[in-house]
Amino acid sequence: MRKYLLKRIFYLFLTLFIVATATFFLMKLMPGTPLQNEAKLTPSEKAAILAQYGLDKPVWLQYFIYIGGIFKGSLGLSFQFSDQAVSYLIGSRMGPSMQLGGQALVVGIIFGIILGAIGAIRKDTWADRLATILSILGIAVPSFVLAILLQYYLGLKTGWFPVAGWSGFAYTLLPTLALAASPLAETARFIRTDMVDVLSSDYIELAKAKGLSKFGIVYHHALRNSLIPMVTLIGPLAAALMTGSMVVENIFSVPGIGEQFVKSILVNDYPTIMGVTIFYSALLCLLLLLTDIVYGIIDPRIRLSGNGD
């Protein structure tokens, strides 16, 4: 277990190192400097600005400074907002993103489980078909389309929910809904497939033969066993949420990381793009590692150190 953990942590750092290196050199290939009115500046002013961002040094030195900085928690200065550190930018915008992501994950997983379970229990009935249609729609309708529709029809037209902004719980409802659709659909499909298998296994037959109530069978025996493999889904779901958050936060003007990322891309704020990239990768790597550990704990049948190699 310990050896396995150490190996995984080593790969986590290796991954992040590769991401940081690749991002750094990709960004160096691109045109653009932090200078805004380049024509109007005198050479000495230019030199001063470049020196502020460390761009006067040779590229290899810049690279070592950048990588060294990451270990100290520094991700450089943003081009877009003068004198603002990227790490501060990310830190100050993490709250809304995490809240939205967390809420969407909880809503998506809970309702996904309910929908999937209904589909499996009432297999081949109208309820199953309805659940299937809902879950396939959740996958087919892109989050940005759903977000726009929700914003217009539930926000602007009916006035039931705030249209955009970030000042209180009510403002989180529509973005959460827009983000939750895809995890909900994925969860529902996963749970349905898995529960159909579980429901036809011997121990469910035994539970039925013992005369347990239908709810007892589903809740205590079927659902619990279907939930274990669900843990592996959390990594991919989190990655999908990051994708979704970029547009959903933009549409609902939520001051989160995704919104900042899109803005930075559009104005070529390279340090911020690099910082957010590394942040997203680190988050996903950590989640993947955590899910693997949790999986090993809740299902002792899976041996972490095994893994075939």
Partner 1 sequence: MADNPKDIQLTSADFAPLDKQAGPDNERIAAPSLTFGQDVWRRLKSNKTAFTSFIILVLMFLIAFGGQAIYHHDPNAQEPKYANLPPKIPGVNIHGLNGHLTQSGQDVDAYKQAGAGSNVHYILGTDYLGRDLLARIMYGTRISLEIALIATLIDLTIGVGFGIISGWKGGRVDLFMQRVIEVLSSIPQLVVMVLMATAFTKTGMASIIAAIAITGWTTMARLTRAQTLQLKNQDFILAARTLGESAPKIAWKHLLPNLSSVIIIQTMFTIPSAIFFEAFLSYIGIGISSPQASLGTLISDGQKNFQFLPYQMWYPAIVLIILMLAFNLLGDGMRDAFDPKSKR
* Total residues at interface with partner 1 (CB under 8 A): 44
Instruction: Give every CB contact of residue 186 below 8 A, 6+ residues apart in sequence.
Output: 108, 112, 138, 139, 233, 236, 237, 240
Asked if 18 interacts with partner 1 (CB under 8 A), we say yes
Residues 234/101, Cβ–Cβ less than 8 Å = no
Q: Closest separation between CB of residue 197 and partner 1, Å?
A: 8
Q: Closest separation between CB of residue 60 and partner 1, Å?
A: 20
Q: Closest separation between CB of residue 189 and partner 1, Å?
A: 9
Strand intervals (E) in 15-150:
none
Q: Taking contact as CB under 8 A, which single stretch among the options 20-28, 66-74, 82-90, 93-101 is the one that binds partner 1?
A: 20-28
Q: Taking contact as CB under 8 A, which single stretch among the options 57-65, 93-101, 202-210, 238-246 is the one that binds partner 1?
A: 238-246
Q: Closest separation between CB of residue 193 and partner 1, Å?
A: 6
Asked if 6 interacts with partner 1 (CB under 8 A), we say no
Position 107, amino acid? V
Q: Taking contact as CB under 8 A, which single stretch among the options 23-31, 58-66, 70-78, 218-226 is the one that binds partner 1?
A: 23-31
Q: Which is nearer to partner 1, 180 or 285 (CB)?
A: 285
Asked if 288 interacts with partner 1 (CB under 8 A), we say yes
CA distances from 142 to 130, 145, 185, 210, 247 (A): 20, 5, 12, 46, 10
Instruction: Give every CB contact of residue 97 below 8 A, 6+ residues apart in sequence.
Output: 245, 249, 254, 256, 257, 258
- Tokens standing for residue 6: 């150490």
The correct pick among 53, 66, 79, 261 for binding partner 1 (CB under 8 A) is 261
Q: Taking contact as CB under 8 A, which single stretch among the options 19-27, 47-55, 91-99, 290-298 is the one that binds partner 1?
A: 19-27
Asked if 29 interacts with partner 1 (CB under 8 A), we say yes
Instruction: Give every CB contact of residue 237 below 8 A, 6+ residues apart in sequence.
Output: 105, 108, 109, 183, 186, 187
Site string for partner 1, 120-149 (x = CB under 8 A): ----------------xx-xxxx-xx--x-
Residues 225/191, Cβ–Cβ less than 8 Å = no
CA distances from 103 to 2, 36, 235, 285 (A): 33, 39, 16, 21
Token pair 């066993």 is at which residue? 225
Count, residues in the chain: 309
Asked if 219 interacts with partner 1 (CB under 8 A), we say no
Asked if 187 interacts with partner 1 (CB under 8 A), we say no
Interface with partner 1 in residues 195-214 (CB under 8 A): 196
The correct pick among 30, 158, 301, 306 for binding partner 1 (CB under 8 A) is 30
Tell which residue, 270, 264, 237, has the closest CA to residue 249.
264
Report d(CA 108, CA 180) in Å as an integer. 5
Binding residues (CB under 8 A) for partner 1: these are 11-12, 14-15, 18-19, 22-23, 26, 29-30, 136-137, 139-142, 144-145, 148, 152, 156, 193, 196, 239, 242-243, 246-247, 250, 261-262, 265-266, 268, 273, 276-277, 280-281, 284-285, 288, 309
